[in-house]
Structure 1
Amino acid sequence: MSTSFRWPNNILLVNHTNNVLTQNILYPFAFDEVACRKVGFGQTPMIHMWRHMKAFVLGMRDWKLPKAKEGVAWLQQQGYDVMVRHSGGAAVPVDKGVINISIILPKPIGEINIHHDFEIMYQFIKNTLGGFSREINKGEVIGSYCPGDYDLSINGFKFCGIAQRRQTKSFIVHAFVVVEGSGSDRAALVRDFYKIAVGNSDEFIEHPQVEPTSTASLSELTNLNSVDHFVDQMKKYISTEANIFEQKFESNNIEIDNDEILDMMERIKSRYREE
């Protein structure tokens, strides 16, 4: 790794990819928030992996668009569960072909290096996919949804975006990885949401200018053809770096009470208004 980062000796892998979530999309984000606090106070560092059947995650700037509520209503009519996240980034669709990964680690005292945090996830994805593509590039992909300096791409097509969330004693680096299905269909959905959310204003309103041809899935770009295949490769990589202990998402052994997660869901939800 090009950074000075070393994986902790022990990593708890909370893997929920085999049981696709259908519940409130706020749940896994609230889980991460609570888990991050626990890791900051000494619990084992964690990798949390999950999928959702059909959801759409907005950034705070998306929620402030003039017709955002109309855009959300349009998505809900199509069966999408919609939320506004408080980490960085813009609109992202998540479904059973998209793996969401959160790396949750303690923060070294007195150290603030956001690029270092992003680099951890970049190297994690790059090493996981090392046997499938020689080049995993980082850098903004023009025309992609949720664009950023740490877009990950193959042959110019974005397949992964990275965001981060910092607490006082710990931090989360989150990535969505488009593994199966059509990347362009997902990008078209985001483009159409923005068309509605921006409305017919004559004024320029800043938002991502999404082009469907910017995005592709790993199954379209490589011979890695399934979520299970990706998870297997990820486990092989991380087991070379640390001792991993895999537990089910609902396990009581992760020392997180469900009431804590429900309370955090309400806190996240209170940061924006749904009516």
Structure 2
Amino acid sequence: MKEWQKFFGGKSVRIIDHSDPAVLGTAMASFAVDDTLCESAGRTKDTAACRFWVHDNTVVLGILDSRLPNIAEAVAFLKNEGFDVVVRNSGGLAVVLDRGVLNFSLILPDSGIMGIHSGYELMTAFVREMYVDVTDRIEAFEVTGSYCPGDYDLSIGGKKFAGISQRRVKNGIAVQIYLCIEGNGQARADLVRQFYLKGEAIRDKRFDYPVVEPDTMRSLSDLAGMALTVEDAKVRVLQQFGKWYEQDLTEDELPVFEKRMKQMVDRNEKAFK
């Protein structure tokens, strides 16, 4: 699936801008918002949404990360380094968020034509088109040695700068990406490498945690050889849509958000018991 536009055909595109880290605070709220928007998209069928989100120093863990043999020491290490720690409700493993990382979610009603691979391919095509004037070298394959490795890691020259995940809730689909636009990708990867060392991942015989090699990770600015910014990335996303309108959560959506937020809080409390 290369023509990402066909999934947006005939739909109004709603923009929700949560790129100021102060707006939501904890990253738990971002996952609760995306679930809320999925429910709304699933009900309307003719509206798509794109949400920007940025968080201050945060490491977002997958459920499997929370089961590391020495998770308490691993989390303590991250907090000592000045990072908040959140367990998400979508798939994947540990990723690092900071002000140089733009996350955005494309949220669509589940029309029945978007399979699992279609969502990943949609986002891959979307990002390639965003940066068509910068590079034609963006590839999608699993970058061994990166953190949160997957078949749709986005890389240039074998160095990863982005990862994609999906979440499906009540007839709505959120395709989420983290784009390391600015900053030191190797330093982010080294933080995750140390997290797995502190958590004694090597002792776990149930699951093969990634052996993170910091040299596999970069920011897009470094790979492109030019100063790209989070704000520039937001502009590029909006240019893709052409027509759009901006609307934060509505009064009708707030009760759904509160329910989803409670689920995130409960998930995180249970994960670290």
Is the TM value for this pair above 0.5? yes
- Residue 64 of structure 2 is matched in structure 1 by 61
- Residue 245 of structure 2 is matched in structure 1 by 245
- Residue 183 of structure 2 is matched in structure 1 by 181
Greater mean deviation of Cα atoms: 144-153 or 20-29? 20-29
Q: Where do residues 135-146 of structure 1 align in structure 2 (5 Å cutoff)?
A: 135-146=137-148
5+ residue gaps in structure 2? Answer: none
4+ long deviations beyond 3 Å: 3-6, 18-22, 199-205, 251-255
> Residues 224-259 of structure 1, C-alpha deviation per residue, up to 9 Å, x if partnerless?
5211111112221221xxx21124xxx3548521x4
> Secondary structure at 1:160's aligned position in 2?
strand
* Distance (whole Å) between structure 2 residues aligned to residue 202 and residue 33 of structure 1: 31
1:269 pairs, out of 265, 268, 271, with 265
Deviation at 1:36, TM superposition (A): 0.6
5+ residue gaps in structure 1? Answer: none
Residues paired across the two proteins, number: 267
* Distance (whole Å) between structure 1 residues aligned to residue 178 and residue 22 of structure 2: 15
Q: Where do residues 14-163 of structure 1 align in structure 2 (5 Å cutoff)?
A: 14-18=16-20, 21=23, 23-42=25-44, 44-109=47-112, 111=113, 113-163=115-165
Would the aligned equivalents of 1:13 and 1:48 in 2 still touch at CA under 8 Å?
yes
Percent identity, aligned pairs only?
Answer: 34
* Distance (whole Å) between structure 2 residues aligned to residue 66 and residue 21 of structure 1: 34
- Name the amino acid aligned to 2:130: T
C-alpha change, 1:215 and 1:199, in structure 2 (3 Å) is: closer
Deviation at 1:128, TM superposition (A): 0.5
TM-score by length of 1: 0.89
* Distance (whole Å) between structure 2 residues aligned to residue 204 and residue 108 of structure 1: 36
Would the aligned equivalents of 1:21 and 1:53 in 2 still touch at CA under 8 Å?
no
* Distance (whole Å) between structure 1 residues aligned to residue 201 and residue 143 of structure 2: 25
* Distance (whole Å) between structure 2 residues aligned to residue 224 and residue 66 of structure 1: 40
- Residue 8 of structure 2 is matched in structure 1 by 7
C-alpha change, 1:74 and 1:61, in structure 2 (3 Å) is: same
Would the aligned equivalents of 1:198 and 1:205 in 2 still touch at CA under 8 Å?
no
* Distance (whole Å) between structure 2 residues aligned to residue 20 and residue 125 of structure 1: 26
- Name the amino acid aligned to 2:253: I
**Alignment root-mean-square deviation, CA:** 2.2
C-alpha change, 1:74 and 1:35, in structure 2 (3 Å) is: same
Deviation at 1:70, TM superposition (A): 1.7
Deviation at 1:262, TM superposition (A): 3.1
- Name the amino acid aligned to 2:16: V
> Secondary structure at 1:46's aligned position in 2?
strand
Deviation at 1:2, TM superposition (A): 2.3
* Distance (whole Å) between structure 1 residues aligned to residue 204 and residue 52 of structure 2: 42
C-alpha change, 1:142 and 1:21, in structure 2 (3 Å) is: farther
Would the aligned equivalents of 2:87 and 2:271 in 1 still touch at CA under 8 Å?
no
Greater mean deviation of Cα atoms: 30-39 or 11-20? 11-20
- Name the amino acid aligned to 1:13: I
* Distance (whole Å) between structure 2 residues aligned to residue 252 and residue 199 of structure 1: 39
> Secondary structure at 1:116's aligned position in 2?
helix
C-alpha change, 1:254 and 1:128, in structure 2 (3 Å) is: farther
- Name the amino acid aligned to 1:175: I
